[in-house]
Amino acid sequence: MKEQVLPAEGKLGILLPGLGAVASTMIAGVIATNKGLSKPIGSLTQTGHIELGSGTGDRFPLIRDFVPLANLEDVVFGGWDIYEDNVYQAATHARVLDQRLLDSIRPELELIKPMRAFFDRDYVRNLDGKFIKQSATRWDAAQELIRDIDNFKKANNLSRVVVIWTGSTEKYIEASAVHETIASFEAGLKNNDAAIAPSMVYAYAAVSQGIPFINGAPNLTTDIPAIIQLARKNKAAIGGKDFKTGQTLMKTVVAPGLAARSLGVSGWYSTNILGNRDGLVLDDEENFKTKEVSKLGVLEDILRPDLHPDLYGDLYHKIRINYYPPHGDNKESWDNIDIFGWLNYPMQIKINFLCRDSILAAPLVLDLALFADLAQRAGMYGVQDWLSFYLKSPQTQHGVPAENDIFKQLNTLKNVLRTMMQEEPLDIPALTATQETVPAL
Ligand SMILES: NC(=O)c1ccc[n+]([C@@H]2O[C@H](COP(=O)([O-])OP(=O)(O)OC[C@H]3O[C@@H](n4cnc5c(N)ncnc54)[C@H](O)[C@@H]3O)[C@@H](O)[C@H]2O)c1
């Protein structure tokens, strides 16, 4: 595949529907990094290494030296929002980053102004921004978004664009007939069918132009047959959904460990408080349901109660998110895990994670954008399930069950990179080392 990976020549545009806390934190971080003011901690593409060869550990390049990723200096940001705030104002409002850091890059941030959003308040009841397109139908909105992307590309002299949804969580919907085929979806756009969520209109605009689209919210968005078919037809990389940060990150680290030791789990109670705009949106039951569904599947997929009924057959899993403004973006999560061991003796694990939501999400947005661009240049299109490492509820190809174990996900991601560059995939490096130490008989 190596010869087929086109080089990252020219500039890459990263377009973000939703220039809120996560997007502004990511953009400010990249600008600060480029100016030598900060380091891109938490970003695998910028700081991670990859082991190559037979597992002896002597070839360990940086990922960004191994695969041809876009350089951070060659990235240009843009996006849409229902509020007119530029990125300096959005970042100031989000109160994630230190004001002195924001002021030191203020001119660069102020230059990034949102384009008018396509919005339907029925999907996000707790927000009422007015900076929205007055499109007669969803079809018209899609055409306007396509023009926005095109103008942005020309104005910034870009060679490539990727679109990453960093917009709000929409209300819970399930796929229906209008989402079934490209033809039914396009008819639905023209009829302004209310079952087509705004995020799907953005996805359609990007994918219809062969532009990669990744969904960072738990919305249905790209997880419908029509967008999957369109992605295959137009050779666009797609993926989703919901950035894997905070509590779910911890869950997918701890659960594989418990499963590895065959320890039973009878209950897992997870609760959160957060006070940012995302928390406000999730305070609405219909929007919370979208998030809840995305978070709930993780344990079942990792623990496999179908295979281990004695260990996980009666697991009670409960998730709550509570809007609590005083904490702002500094989400606090508690997990109470009831486990049991030898002869069913019960034990408990308590996790209290005082995290920062957007600080955890920002590097994921950057990595997803750079990897989606890489996939596109490598001729990989359709659902990119190798990027599930970054996602809470990974979309998979052809209905294959999702992998949620973070360690397996990382292994898969790295093996895709190795294969892309014609290196041997590594499955269990330690095993290779052990075999070498076994004396010849
Ligand atoms: N921060 C995390 O740890 C994390 C983890 C997983 C997923 N997410 C998801 O990422 C998304 C962004 O989170 P955030 O904290 O930045 O939220 P935010 O509320 O600060 O930003 C979202 C922005 O999207 C805008 N928006 C809403 N609908 C839009 C539309 N149709 N078009 C354009 N813009 C629109 C809103 O006005 C808002 O400014 C949310 O969906 C959230 O659930 C965040």
In a domain, 71, yes or no: yes
Residues of the chain with pLDDT under 70: 1-3, 55-57, 294, 428-441
**Is residue 11 domain-shared with residue 102, that is, in the same domain?**
yes
Cβ–Cβ < 8 Å for 92, 29:
no
Q: For ligand 1, atom 29, which residue shows the shortest CA distance?
A: 167
In a domain, 23, yes or no: yes
Determine the pLDDT at residue 275: 85
Cβ–Cβ < 8 Å for 280, 232:
no
**Is residue 20 domain-shared with residue 55, that is, in the same domain?**
yes
Determine the pLDDT at residue 74: 98
Measured CA to CA, the distance from residue 1 to residue 13 in angstroms comes to: 25
Measured CA to CA, the distance from residue 232 to residue 286 in angstroms comes to: 31
Determine the pLDDT at residue 431: 35
**Is residue 75 domain-shared with residue 218, that is, in the same domain?**
yes
Q: For ligand 1, atom 30, which residue shows the shortest CA distance?
A: 119
**Is residue 272 domain-shared with residue 224, that is, in the same domain?**
no
Q: For ligand 1, atom 39, which residue shows the shortest CA distance?
A: 20
Classify burial at 286, counting beta carbons within 10 Å of its beta carbon; exposed 0-12, middle 13-18, buried 19 or more.
middle
Comparing CA positions, the residue from 68, 75, 77, 89 lying closest to residue 21 is 89
Between helix 246-260 and helix 357-377 the angle, nearest 10°, is: 80
In a domain, 426, yes or no: no
Measured CA to CA, the distance from residue 332 to residue 217 in angstroms comes to: 19
For 334-388, how does the pLDDT look when each residue is reduced to its tens digit (9 = 90+)?
A: 999 999 999 999 999 999 999 999 999 999 999 999 999 999 999 999 999 999 9
> How remote is the CA of residue 59 from the centroid of ligand 1, in Å?
39
Determine the pLDDT at residue 439: 35
| Ligand 1, atom nearest to 94 Cα | 20
The set of residues, in sequence order, having a beta carbon less than 8 Å from that of 65 and lying 6+ positions away, is none
Measured CA to CA, the distance from residue 16 to residue 23 in angstroms comes to: 7
For 72-90, how does the pLDDT look when each residue is reduced to its tens digit (9 = 90+)?
A: 999 999 999 999 999 999 9
> How remote is the CA of residue 279 from the centroid of ligand 1, in Å?
10
For 42-64, how does the pLDDT look when each residue is reduced to its tens digit (9 = 90+)?
A: 999 999 999 998 766 678 999 99
> How remote is the CA of residue 166 from the centroid of ligand 1, in Å?
5
* Terminal Cα distance for the chain, rounded: 39
Identity of residue 407: F
Three-class secondary structure of residue 80 per DSSP: strand
Cβ–Cβ < 8 Å for 182, 226:
yes
Measured CA to CA, the distance from residue 337 to residue 319 in angstroms comes to: 12
In a domain, 285, yes or no: yes
Q: The domain spanning residue 325 has which CATH number?
A: 3.30.360.10
Residue of 83, 93, 168 to mutate, ligand 1, most atoms within 8 A of C-beta: 168
Question: Ligand 1: residues whose CB is within 6 Å?
Answer: 17-18, 20-23, 80-83, 94, 117-119, 124, 127, 129, 166-169, 198, 216-217, 242-243, 245-246, 276-278, 357-358, 360-361
Determine the pLDDT at residue 55: 63
| Ligand 1, atom nearest to 245 Cα | 3
> How remote is the CA of residue 245 from the centroid of ligand 1, in Å?
14
**Is residue 94 domain-shared with residue 181, that is, in the same domain?**
yes
Between helix 198-207 and helix 225-233 the angle, nearest 10°, is: 10
Determine the pLDDT at residue 97: 97
Classify burial at 221, counting beta carbons within 10 Å of its beta carbon; exposed 0-12, middle 13-18, buried 19 or more.
buried
**Is residue 256 domain-shared with residue 385, that is, in the same domain?**
no
In a domain, 258, yes or no: yes
Total length of the chain: 441
> How remote is the CA of residue 55 from the centroid of ligand 1, in Å?
41
> How remote is the CA of residue 378 from the centroid of ligand 1, in Å?
29
**Is residue 185 domain-shared with residue 286, that is, in the same domain?**
no
Distance of CA 394 to the CA centre of its chain: 9
> How remote is the CA of residue 276 from the centroid of ligand 1, in Å?
10
> How remote is the CA of residue 19 from the centroid of ligand 1, in Å?
7
> Which single residue is written with the structure tokens 């969803």?
138
Measured CA to CA, the distance from residue 414 to residue 175 in angstroms comes to: 32
- Residues spanned by the domain of 163: 2-243+358-420
Residue of 93, 278, 288, 329 to mutate, ligand 1, most atoms within 8 A of C-beta: 278
Measured CA to CA, the distance from residue 244 to residue 383 in angstroms comes to: 17
**Is residue 140 domain-shared with residue 44, that is, in the same domain?**
yes
Determine the pLDDT at residue 289: 83
**Is residue 24 domain-shared with residue 168, that is, in the same domain?**
yes
DSSP codes, 242-308: -B--HHHHHHHHHHHHHHHTT-EEEEEEEEEEE-SHHHHHHTSHHHHHHHHHHHHHHHHHHH-TTT-
> Which single residue is written with the structure tokens 């919305």?
219
> How remote is the CA of residue 424 from the centroid of ligand 1, in Å?
39
Determine the pLDDT at residue 2: 63
pTM: 0.93
Q: How many domains does the chain have?
A: 2
Q: For ligand 1, atom 32, which residue shows the shortest CA distance?
A: 117
Q: For ligand 1, atom 2, which residue shows the shortest CA distance?
A: 357
Helix residue ranges, H only, 304-405: 309-312, 357-377
DSSP-derived letter for residue 180 is S
The residue from 336, 354, 372 where one domain ends is: 354
| Ligand 1, atom nearest to 167 Cα | 24
Cβ–Cβ < 8 Å for 389, 410:
yes
**Is residue 177 domain-shared with residue 138, that is, in the same domain?**
yes
> How remote is the CA of residue 138 from the centroid of ligand 1, in Å?
21
Q: Report which secondary-structure segment, H or E, holds 11.
A: strand 11-17
